[in-house]
Structure formats: structure tokens, C-alpha cells
Structure 1
Amino acid sequence: MRPVELALQVLERVAEDQPIGASELARRMQLPKATVHRLLIVLEQCGWLERDGDGRAQWSVTLKPVAVAGRAIERKSGLRMAALPVIDELRRTTEETVHLGVLEGDSVVLMERFDGAKSVNRFLPIGTHWHLHWSSAGRAMLANFPPERQAAYLARPLLKRRSTEPLAPGELAAELDVVKAQGYAITIGGGEARSSSVGAAIFDKQGFPFAGLSITGAVDRLTQEKLEALAPQVAAAAHRISMGMSLA
């Protein structure tokens, strides 16, 4: 693996487990301690990591990623301007937690979260990544991908949501046909997943699904029936944001 890839993996792992020492980090990543220590020093010199001041050499992420993320969000300011009023209205009318995710490669990244009054099992931090097929918003985007890109995604080995069990061949493809036709996707928590959601795709001026909107809540509260009832509101909100993007 190339040094740059290793450095990024170290940065991401520190962000997940911070504060953490070099020895423990090396153990968790199954890498030589000398390699991990060298990469930690490089990331510190570049301003991405810092050590605490109590002499235990515990490593944490600095605020530099926030600054970089802020610049990335500025480039997507058209989406934020179009989406935030719609998200706030959806949250107020449903009292549910609303997520705005953006496409990044073959993942969904949480860009905004408006917390509702009703229960969720956990609050996801901004910047959380999901596999596309693990979230309702991601599945809605995937369902509207150009055929070649969708086929490339489906051709890889895919696991069920938060599970080590593989998806059966053709299982996801059949579902995506339904999702595209109805305009929304639903995921029901299973295994370690304790939340359920309903999501719809947001399209840019060229008609590409570059973002998604979803309502998320506790799996024991948001049943299939309740998600189906919320689906028209989510789909309508996503459509309003898409229309706003087309006018931006």
C-alpha cells in the first residue's frame, strides 16, 4: 500500500478512536508501530493531528479537517441554500430527524442533520460515510444512476446493511427498479442496524442524482407502514430541492 493511502487510513482511524496512542493504533490497524509512528509525525507536521499535553502521547485530530470540509461545503453552497429551508420545514411538519447526504465516489456523506422531536437510536455526526446501498438516500441515488455506472456498482461483492452476509446476486438490482419507479427507497434496520429510513434522490441541473434526503428514526417506531406514509413528503421535499438546484 502506498504511503499516502496509509497516512489517510491512519488519519481516519485516529478520528474514529481519538484520543489514542501509537501502540494501540498500530495494534488496531495491524501495522508496525514504527510505520504508524512515522505517519503520525508527518500528519502532525502537516497540521492534521496533534498530541495532548500530559506526556502520554495520545493523538487527536486537529480542526484542519473542519476547515477543509468547510471549503468543500462552500463549493456546494447552492445545494445548502436550496435544501436548508426545505429540510427545516420537513423536520417541523414531521417532527422527525432529517438527513442531507451528498454523493462522494460510491459512498454517501452526511452533509446536514436536522434533529426532530421524535426518537432516534443514535445521532450520526456530520461527515459520516455509508455505502450507497446501506442507506435509503443512497439507494435512491443508485437507482437513478446511468446504467453503466449502476451496473459497475452492482458487479462488485456487496454486503447486506451492517452485516457480513453477502447480498444475493440480482437482489439489489430488482429493488432498485422498484425504487426508481416509486421515487423513494426504504431501509428497515436489521442486524446491528437499529434505525430505519425513507429517502429520495436530489438531482442537479443535468439530471444526475448527486445528493439525497432522508427521514431517519428508531426501528421499533418507524415501521414499514409509517415509512410508506412519510415517503410522499420526503419525495416532494427532494423534488423541491432539485427544482431549486435547476434554478441556481
Structure 2
Amino acid sequence: MQQKSDPYRIEAVDRALQLLGLLRDRGRLSVTEAAQELGVAPSTAHRLLSTLGHRGWAVQGEKKLYEAGPELAAPAVSAGIPEIVRTLRPYLDSLFAELGETSHLMVLIGSDVRFVDGIESDRSLRVGLRVGTRMPAYTTSGGKAMLAELSPDALAALHPAGLRPWPGGHATNLGELTAELERVRSQRFGFNQEESEPGVAALGASLGTAAGEVRAALTVAVPTARFTGADAEKIASVLVESCARARAELWLAEAAR
């Protein structure tokens, strides 16, 4: 282990890495325990843990204890993302070519989604790219579409401490989310009206687990300032049809191997 006198050591980075090791080894960690281990004030430990949480490396569970987040707990998913992007890029290209609105490919990692690929619209008023961003699945259109394909037990297992609070999130508990997912299943797409981000409306449809064992979805996002009912109908129709075609083609390709 490098000593604190190492001239190349960046203190904040070093502390964050120590926390990752503690989360990996212990499973759970309180702010007080983190502060004691690092030899810092609780407020500093809290900021570090919150930062790790923002990036998906930690999540706050029961009794305000921090646990290993999806980034730390599911390295196999992250390792497979480049292949997923290559496989599904043609379908993302096709969706964007038909609608001309900012389109994304996302994957489900634990109870979160990660935007792993996207194409930004060239319209003057548009939604920017979110590639690399993570947020709770229940606040996104594609996330809802993927969660809707899970069994009640699997859905509950992803949220052992309930839904992670999120600014703009409509559902506040599993019961409310379950009711919304029933609607998603019936219409075959998820809808997000300023839940993930102010000023953004989005629709998303699931690609299932056609890309290996990882669930994926395609989404289309439009600024709410110019989003109309007619837009919603057109996008939903194209999106659902595109994802159904993609699932069928990917299944046939896999079966032919």
C-alpha cells in the first residue's frame, strides 16, 4: 500500500478508493464507520459516499447504511456493454432515422439504468445526449419498460429498501410503481414526463434480453416545450414496432448460431 507521503497521491481519490474497498469487503457501511476508517469528519465521509452514490458505486439502503452499488456489484454487466452497443447500434440508427429525435440505448443494472449509446437530434430545440448517465430505472421510460417485464418477486428484490427518492419521480413506493407497470405492459412502452429530468418527455420500449443476459431498451426524448399528443402517438407507434422487429431479428440470429 502506498503511504500518505506519496507525492503523487490525490487525497480525495485515495479516500474514495478506500471506501470502495470497504463497501466491497463489508457489504454495508455507515457514515460514522466511514469517517472513522478514513480519519475524517462525518460530513466529509457523507460527501464522499454521496458522490459514489451519484455514479452508481454505492446506494443508500435501510437505516441510512450505504451498500455496494450496481457499478461495484455487477462488473460483468459493465464488461459486456461494448458488445451490446455494437449489436444494437443498427436498431438505434434506424429508430433515429425514422423520427429525428434524440434517441438512446440503455441497459438495466440492478435497479438503475445506464445510457450506453445515443444519437442527438439536430433540431434547434432538442434533448441532449445522456450517454454515461445513470439514474433509477423507475424514473425513465426505458427503465419502466424493462421493469414491466420482471416478475413481482424480481421487482421487489431490486428494491429491498423501497424506491430510491428522486426529484421528479412520480411513484413513491412499490405499490404505486407496480400499478404504473401494469399500464406499461398493456401499452408496450414506458412514458416519462419530466421524471428523470425537467423539461424532458420520453418514451421507451424494451428489447428484452436479446443482447445476452442484459436487459436493454431504446428510448426517444423530446423537449416538453414542443411535445404534443400527436408526437406521442407517432413515437409510440414507431418505437414499439422498431423494438418488436429488433427482438425478432435478434432472436432469429441467435437461433441460427
SS of the residue 1:213 aligns to: strand
Q: What is the aligned residue count?
A: 196
Shift of the 6–242 alpha-carbon distance from structure 1 to 2, 3 Å rule, reads same
Give the unaligned 5+ runs of structure 2.
Answer: 1-14, 23-39, 49-74
Letter aligned with residue 240 of structure 1: R
Q: Which residue of 1 aligns with 2:142?
A: 137
- Equivalent in the alignment of 2:29: none
Post-superposition offset of 1:143: 0.5
2:206 to 196, 201, 204: 201
Q: 1:89 Cα deviation (Å)? A: 1.7
For 1:1-248, what aligned pairs fall within 5 Å after superposition?
A: 6-7=19-20, 30-31=43-44, 75-76=80-81, 78-118=83-123, 119-124=125-130, 126-153=131-158, 156-158=161-163, 161-163=166-168, 167=172, 170-189=175-194, 193-205=198-210, 210-246=215-251, 247-248=253-254
Letter in structure 1 aligned against 2:116: M
State the AA in 1 paired with 2:114.
Answer: V
Distance 1:108 1:187 in 2: 14
1:204 positional shift: 2.1
What secondary structure does 1:80 align onto?
A: helix
Provide the C-alpha distance between the structure 2 equivalents of 1:165 and 1:204, rounded to a whole number of angstroms. Answer: 27
Kept in 2, the 8 Å contact 1:140–1:183? The answer is yes
Q: Deviations over 1:145-166 (max 9, x none)?
A: 1331113346643266524886
- Contact persistence 1:140–1:212 (CA under 8 A): yes
Contact 1:204 1:245 in 2 (8 A): no
Report if the CA contact (8 A) 2:102-2:120 is conserved: yes
**What amino acid does structure 2 have at the position aligned with 1:91?**
F
Asked if the contact 1:79–1:245 (Cα under 8 Å) also holds between the matched residues in 2, the reply is: no
Question: Which has the higher mean CA deviation after the structures are superposed, 98-107 or 219-228?
Answer: 219-228
| Partner Cα distance (2:153, 2:202) in 1 | 27
Cα distance in structure 2, aligned partners of 1:230 and 1:95: 10
Cα distance 1:228–1:154, how it changes in 2: closer, same or farther (>3 A)?
farther
Deviations 1:186-230 (A, max 9, x none): 111159622110000111259977011100121112234422321
1:180 Cα deviation from its structure 2 partner = 1.1
Return 73-82 or 214-223, whichever deviates more.
73-82
Tell me the equivalent position of 1:58.
none
2:126 counterpart letter in structure 1: V
Offset, 1:113: 0.8
TM-score (norm 2): 0.62
Give TM-score, length-normalised by structure 1.
0.64
Unaligned runs of 5+ in 1: 10-25, 37-68
Is contact 2:139-2:196 (8 Å) kept? no
Aligned-pair identity in percent equals: 23
Q: Which moved more, 1:102-111 or 1:81-90?
A: 81-90
Tell me how far 1:82 sits from its aligned partner: 3.4
Per-residue CA distance 1:8-48 (angstroms, 9 max, x = gap): 89xxxxxxxxxxxxxxxx89x9226xxx7xxxxxxxxxxxx
Q: Give distance in 2, aligned partners of 1:90 and 1:206.
A: 17
Q: Which moved more, 1:223-232 or 1:105-114?
A: 223-232
